[in-house]
Structure 1
Amino acid sequence: MAVYRSVDELIGATPTLDVSRLSPNPSVALYAKLEGHNPTGSVKDRVALAMLDRAEAEGGLTPGSVIIEPSSGNTGIALAMLGQRRGYRVKIVLPGNVTAERRQMLEIFGAEIIDSPAEQGSNGAVRMAVELAEANPDWTMLYQYGNEANPEAHYRSTGPEIVADVPGITHFVAGLGTSGTLLGVGRYLKEHSPTVQVWAVEPPAGEQVEGLRSLDDGYVPPIFEQWGGVDLLDRKMIVRPRESIEATRMLAAEGVFSGISGGAALAGARKAAARIDDGVIVFVVSDHGWKYLSVGAWTDDLDAAAAQAENVIYF
């Protein structure tokens, strides 16, 4: 067992689990990339570390600097943890209806929470953070939606890890949130093998699935355009809240305690498996389920849990 010098070194190198028992097609293998094994429990640890490292290298952060960032929780939690260790003051603009667990994690790591209107979701948090950053030019907004360190983190780490673990991959499935995971991993995979398909999972326009966004809801992350998202993605699949909850429970039955976006990714992977003759699909389980216990996704009636997910959880 290795001894690490800092928590930064624990980020990445997450395990991949064969969950082919959940495939609706016996000729299609399913593998789950378990990003909840990062220190704060999500894939966003990779992004937060990369953005901080870049900002420091470019001279944009000095001891005592104030960082402001819009987040529904995971990126904010990762920034709060890493920022606190590096001597920064972290302010997170948070939609008013995220789960209590994510709010508590931000408080544990010393972040100041600035509430944005719940009914405006993640887009409202982005608008408020931009306004605050413009009004306070001495604050630094790393802006995960437009920071190329986001997809670059996945190009440098997540993509190579997937190829090392599953060299025969034919399809990659991930949720469409900031789009960083899809873009960074997708670009790496297509350079490794041009025949690899990259499929995105998104909710229907106007509906909420934790960890996902629909591009039809009016906000396209700048990195999606900068990294050629339209050309990179081979297909987008719609996954509804109820499907996400059902698949989250399937993962739990396999011993994987996943966040709801992980269930959405599995639901998308199962749809992909049903549409192809044979192949090897890797999908991303973005975080652990302990951040969502209060929404009853595993214990409530399925319809009630799906309704709760729509009303409470925002990207």
Structure 2
Amino acid sequence: MPAGNHTFFAPVTYILAGIPGMEESHVWISIPFCLMYIVTLIGNSLLLFIILTEQSLHQPMYLFVSMLAAVDLLLSITAVPKMLAVFWFGAGEISFAACLTQMFFIHVSFIAESAILLAMAFDRYVAICNPLRYTIILTKSVTGKMGLAVVTRSFCFIFPVLFLVKQLKFCGTNLLPHTYCDYVDIARLACDDITVNFWYGTVVGTLVIGLDAVLIAVSYGLILRAVFQLPSKDARLKALRTCGSHLCVILMFYTPVFLPIFAHQFGQIVPSYILILLANLCVLIPPMLNPIVYGVTRKEILKRVIFVFHRWYRRSSLLS
């Protein structure tokens, strides 16, 4: 938005409006959101606990799963409590510093999760296409360095966003039509030219996450070619089963992430409340479903989950 004869101000607080046009349904919408948040906290915390405490699960594949669970927890804890406060109490006021902090960690979580999914695709590629060299290529040291690279890349791409937002001049409303602080929505409130902000967000969103998606697709193309070259049908099915849970997680992450990106291109056609609901799905659905998928499809994790609940049940019975 070009600057004219406006009185500029530095925003002290923002007001999160929730989902404009659906204010009367906020309480009803909050019920499934709250349930998904509870499932997310329990599922990912349990997954982290099982992987970190079970020595037999200290393998690259499960270490990547634990990284994914940690990022999902960060994303949910950063975004959902304030979202529920807006729905339940109309407590949409958030300080400028808190808004930038929330925005930063939400976007860092998205970039990190995309990178972890790429690392997991590489793990499956090595396990199926080079099984004899798996332990040589993916050592604990290499896995740790990949985890560090995920964190470093995420911070490096999102940190400049803080400076881009702080340099903007605001002269109008401080009302954010969203349930959490989003980079694009904050930039749109400015009276400055936001071309740089727009293109930086577009480049990060398409090149970083988009490139990850392309590399994951290439990895699975090579994996499928190797799988269908296996002589035994049982070997093919076993190889496909090892990738099934990861493919489900990939689809659950990228589908709700790319839908809002494409929908924003048709912002005048798609109602704004649909765009906000799609953005909420990105925050709520993948973190909730990821531990369920891995808990159900991975026998090693499922056995430990059953053991933990069985031990908890026995202790409860003894105490009662």
Same fold by TM-score greater than 0.5: no
Instruction: Give 1 or 2: higher strand fraction.
Output: 1
Report the TM-score when normalising by structure 1: 0.25
Which of structures 1 and 2 has the larger relative contact order (alpha carbons within 8 angstroms, sep 6+)? 2
Instruction: Give 1 or 2: higher helix fraction.
Output: 2
Select the structure of larger CA radius of gyration: 2
